[in-house]
Amino acid sequence: MKKTFRYRLHGLAMDPRDTSDPVEKALRDWRIDPRALVQATITRESVDARKSKPVKRFTLELVTDRPFHRHMLEPLGDPKPEPDDLLSGSLALPERVHVVGSGPCGIACAIALAEKGYRVVLHERGADLATRILAARRFIKGADLDPETNFLFGEGGAGTFTDGKLTTRTRNRLVQAALKQWVDVGEDPSIQWRAKPHLGTDRMRVLVAGLRRRFESLGGEFRFLSRLEDFEVRSGKVASATFSGKTESVEALVLAIGHSARDTLEMLAARGVGFEAKDFAVGVRIEHPQEMIDRRQYGPKADTGVLGAAEYFLSCKTQAGPGAHSFCMCPGGEVLPTTTDSRELATNGMSFRARAGTWANSGFVVPVHRQELTTWAARNGVPDDVWTGVNFQRKLERDAYAMGGGGFRAPAQRAGDFLDGKVGQDLPESSYARGLAPSDLTTLLPEFVSSELAKALVDFDRKIPGFIRHGLMIAPETRTSSPLRVPREAATLAVPGVEGLYALGEGAGWSGGIVTSAADGLRLADRAVARR
Ligand SMILES: Cc1cc2nc3c(=O)[nH]c(=O)nc-3n(C[C@H](O)[C@H](O)[C@H](O)COP(=O)(O)OP(=O)(O)OC[C@H]3O[C@@H](n4cnc5c(N)ncnc54)[C@H](O)[C@@H]3O)c2cc1C
């Protein structure tokens, strides 16, 4: 392999109105021959609005085919070898593979397997994209919840109605391959090198449609309203599966079911699939006027037409407890009821590409570790086992539904009232369309969650003045990540003891977010031998 050289380049500053390519500017300003460039990634991108003239600042990682010695160009060592490289293309799967779930993980896996020559059937319990968009619109306007087609289930999975932030902490080969798969179906190539690409739900829908076209053009078969209900193992191998009442023989079953299909998770446990508990986080969605966040982050004179709606990420460590942090912030977005059960309520945030909405919302959550779950189980007189996390989430969601008074009205409280122990009836306007019920959230949330949120509010208000005064807390945020993980064999990714059964993505506890879920889907396809 030809030797390459890796560098980090700090301090590239650009006028926010300048829409030219930051990589091209960096090569020009640092006198790097563009022909020497092998790869470029923007690893950090921020707006510095403290000065009278705001600037955008970038940190880049450059790989070149020859060495360069320049001011502010920091040489980096060789990248760590990725274990996946060793295993690429060595796993023989049967010719026909059934993938369950069309979220970012399932569709990425299905396309990559079809590209390798497999006959892939993709089962999705919910409806196709167009039907789903109509169902979501009706639900938001007050219709009953369809438990199969909603903000979490249906074509594109939980990824469709999201903020569409494509941020990841890692940029490994599979992440790059996932982004490339999206570029190949028409997404903007800049998602491959930008630090914080944002699509919004409108572009996510275009992407979801493009991925389906690609899958079907490869001969893939998409089956909607096809829910995996059961499967049978004979002599340690997957032998058949039942999809919406129809049983067929199946040799390879890939589960990419997300973390909200609790019925399917329970069915898997009943069939002997092992689970282990993992940490997650719960709390509320907190909403503020976007204009207030813009003013605090950019200063009073900043032009958001040029800079875009302002973001924040906040975290607070506390001495005795698990602390709290903001999660999945949606500038200019809206708060949604993201649930699949008509007795449960959970919230999350979505935005459109323009991020032009009146409000900023963010998850405002407290990590939940084993220790907190054990205490909670003892206090509530319930068993403490691998399912405690799921039961903890479910109880919070049911209590929230009841506290809201039904109809998916969400319990809500001003942040100031939450700290003062008051239930103010004068809730501010909100993006949450199903209505809010003035509530005392300290009686809903477990004590350790309320007390950590209270401490964090004071801390966040120091960092963004007005965070308390203008903050509206909408409960609950419970599905930040899966409380469970399915162990899998390192070499084959199979569920231990069951040949032909694979558990991938967020529902299996191996990813968190759109991009890493797609990358985990590719992890299996990457290991499969090519059939043509
Ligand atoms: C409102 C919201 C906003 C979000 N915003 C972001 C964001 O901005 N950036 C980000 O990175 N992440 C975001 N996320 C998280 C992201 O959407 C998930 O991490 C990602 O979609 C997980 O991908 P997945 O394919 O593993 O599972 P999912 O997307 O959950 O897909 C699972 C699919 O499996 C199907 N399924 C389940 N059970 C069965 C069954 N028995 N039979 C057949 N099909 C089944 C479901 O219907 C679903 O379509 C957001 C999530 C929500 C809810």
* Position 8 pLDDT exceeds 90: yes
Q: What is the pLDDT of residue 532?
A: 73
Question: Separation of 480 CA from ligand 1 center, angstroms?
Answer: 11
Which stretches of 232-369 are DSSP H helices?
Answer: 262-270, 290-298, 304-307
pLDDT band at 82 (very low <50, low <70, confident <90, very high): low
Residue 459: phi and psi, rounded to 5, are -65, -45
Order the strands of the 246-249 sheet from edge to edge.
228-234, 237-243, 246-249
Which tokens is 495 given?
């569920």
CB of 32 within 8 A of CB of 62? yes
Mean pLDDT, the chain, whole residue set? 94
Give me the phi and psi of 46, to 5 degrees please. -145, 160
How many Å lie between the centroid of ligand 1 and the Cα of residue 350? 13
Site to substitute for ligand 1 among 125, 168, 227, most atoms within 8 A of C-beta: 125
Extract the tokens encoding 199.
Answer: 């699509």
pLDDT tens for each residue of 143-182: 999 999 999 999 999 999 999 999 887 778 899 999 999 9
CA distance 126 to 483: 23
Q: How many residues does the chain have?
A: 532
* 5-14 β-sheet, strand order: 37-48, 55-64, 5-14, 73-76
In 269-353, at which residue ranges do the beta strands (DSSP E only) sit? Answer: 276-277, 280-289, 315-316, 324-330, 334-337, 347-350
Q: What is the pLDDT at residue 135?
A: 97
Residue 85 is predicted with a pLDDT of 58
Amino acid 399: pLDDT: 98
What is the pLDDT confidence band of residue 83, given thresholds at 50, 70 and 90? low
pLDDT bracket for residue 11 (50, 70, 90)? confident
Rounded Cα distance between 253 and 255, Å, is: 6
pLDDT score at 239: 98
d(Cα 200, Cα 451) in Å, to the nearest integer? 33
Q: At what angle do helices 173-184 and 514-527 cross, to 10 degrees?
A: 100
- CB of 128 closer than 8 Å to CB of 223: no
Task: Give, for 135, the enclosing helix (H) or strand (E).
Answer: helix 129-140
Residue 77 has a pLDDT of: 83
The Cα–Cα gap between 406 and 149 comes to: 20
Centre of ligand 1 from the C-alpha of residue 157, in Å: 4
pLDDT at 89: 86
Structure pTM?
A: 0.94
Structure tokens given for 124: 């999705």
Between residues 422 and 72, the one the model is more confident about: 422
Q: List residues near ligand 1 (CB under 6 A).
A: 100-106, 123-126, 152-154, 157-159, 161-165, 227-228, 256-258, 261, 264, 328, 336, 338, 348-350, 505-507, 512-515, 517
Residue 266: pLDDT band with limits 50, 70, 90: very high
Helix or strand (DSSP H, E) at 179: helix 173-184
Q: How far is CA 15 from CA 58, 227, 358, 454, in A?
A: 11, 51, 26, 39
Which residue minimizes the CA distance to atom 12 of ligand 1? Answer: 513
Three-state SS for 308? coil
Is a pLDDT exceeding 70 seen at residue 84?
Answer: no
The yes-or-no verdict on residue 295 having pLDDT over 70 is: yes
